[in-house]
Structure 1
Amino acid sequence: MPITYEMENTDNNSLAITLRPYRLSDAEDFLMYAGDERVTQFTRWNTLNSKEQALSYIKEFCIPHCYCKSICFNDRSIGFLFIKPYDEDNEKCRAEVGYVVAAEYWGRGIATRALKMAIIDVFKQFTDLVRLQAKVLIENKGSQRVLEKLGFQKEGLLRKYTIHRGTASDLFMYSLLSTDPMP
């Protein structure tokens, strides 16, 4: 079932941001952002080059994933959001968060609104979940702002934590607890 957030357009028209499961028909829209180096520069996945790659990613990752949603603007897929709960018994209290939004929609608060909707939904859906966490490359200032607006706490610097585009890279660790206040 889609989750909807209404936002005001500059013309005072209401525009809907929706989170919904991916559909195979989203492939061209998915390629619009997953094929854009500006968008994928901070992701763990490579920039896609074809509609076939987009279809494959949607089919093999997005659709079977327990919480992978298409961020839609007036029902057009303009972004990607996932929350991945850990499977181990002693780790069921936490989940990893990731998201991207098409470059043409940057700076409009869409990622912030979409993630806020997902946070509310995922804490209801996964009852063992206590902690959401996001690991963000230190160069990714936009994502850091999104998380901070939503009350995520910057816990620290993870030095040379991951290989990103062939180089050992530093990350910031952010977290939000189910008991933390939401703005």
Structure 2
Amino acid sequence: MEQDTLDLAHISLRPFQLSDADDVMVWATDERVTKFCSWEPYTSKHAAVDFILNITTKFLWCRAICIGDRAIGSVSVQSYSGDDKARAKAAEIGYILGSKYWGKGIATKVVKQVVEMAFVDLPDLVRLEALVDVENVGSQRVLEKAGFQREGILRKFLFLKGKSRDMVMFSVLSDEIGA
């Protein structure tokens, strides 16, 4: 299963478990993986444990991307509800995948699956969006293949890792699913 070709039927999503801490460390310490993340690469297993016990619970929905029982990445949906009633029917998808698994169709498969699940599990959801760094061409391609529409560039939208970043906004709407 470690060859260049990978049977995507072996990819699954499940809640994170404490026993995933070592797997999380593989991708969360990789600077290539975390380059476009809002957080710095992990430097201790404590950070992975904190992610599993505390950070994953802050999302509306968060799952480990698995091959067999190995957590090779993460996918989450974050709600905009709360104080911002105008954004209550929108949510943001985020994903991260170990670099060893890039370019194999895994992220595209996972994003497509999560889009379908999100609009079923969250019946009030109208819009699912993703913000991607303009330099993260691979992630932009994943979203395009998963049916997201590129809406435009948000100039100097985020300040990350000491630098203002332009972000590309993507979205998919509930009435576009299955159309």
TM-score (ref. length: structure 1): 0.89
Matched, 1:32 2:26: yes
What does 1:112-131 correspond to in 2, within 5 Å? 112-131=108-127
Q: 2:95 corresponds to which letter in structure 1?
A: Y
Aligned equivalents of 2:116 and 2:24: distance in 1? 24
2:97 corresponds to which residue?
Answer: 101
Aligned equivalents of 2:67 and 2:126: distance in 1? 29
**Alpha-carbon deviations, 1:16-43, whole Å to 9, x = none?**
1111111111000001001100000011
**Alpha-carbon deviations, 1:103-161, whole Å to 9, x = none?**
00011100111111111111111111010111100000000000000111111110001
Aligned equivalents of 1:182 and 1:35: distance in 2? 37
2:65 corresponds to which residue?
Answer: 71
Give ranges in structure 2 of 5+ residues lacking alignment.
Answer: none
Measured after TM superposition, the shift of residue 179 of structure 1 is: 1.2
More strand by share: 1
More helix by share: 2
Runs (4+) of structure 1 moved beyond 6 Å? 9-14
1:6 corresponds to which residue?
Answer: none
SS at match of 1:59: helix
- Kept in 1: contact 2:59–2:79 (CA 8 A): no
Aligned equivalents of 2:7 and 2:178: distance in 1? 26
Q: 1:20 corresponds to which letter in structure 2?
A: R
- Kept in 2: contact 1:21–1:63 (CA 8 A): no
Matched, 1:152 2:151: no
Aligned equivalents of 1:26 and 1:44: distance in 2? 21
Q: How many residues matched?
A: 175
TM-score (ref. length: structure 2): 0.91
What does 1:1-183 correspond to in 2, within 5 Å? 15-63=9-57, 65-87=59-81, 88-181=84-177
- 1:182–1:163 distance in 2 versus 1, CA, 3 Å: farther
- 1:126–1:10 distance in 2 versus 1, CA, 3 Å: same
Q: 1:29 corresponds to which letter in structure 2?
A: D
- Kept in 2: contact 1:154–1:175 (CA 8 A): yes
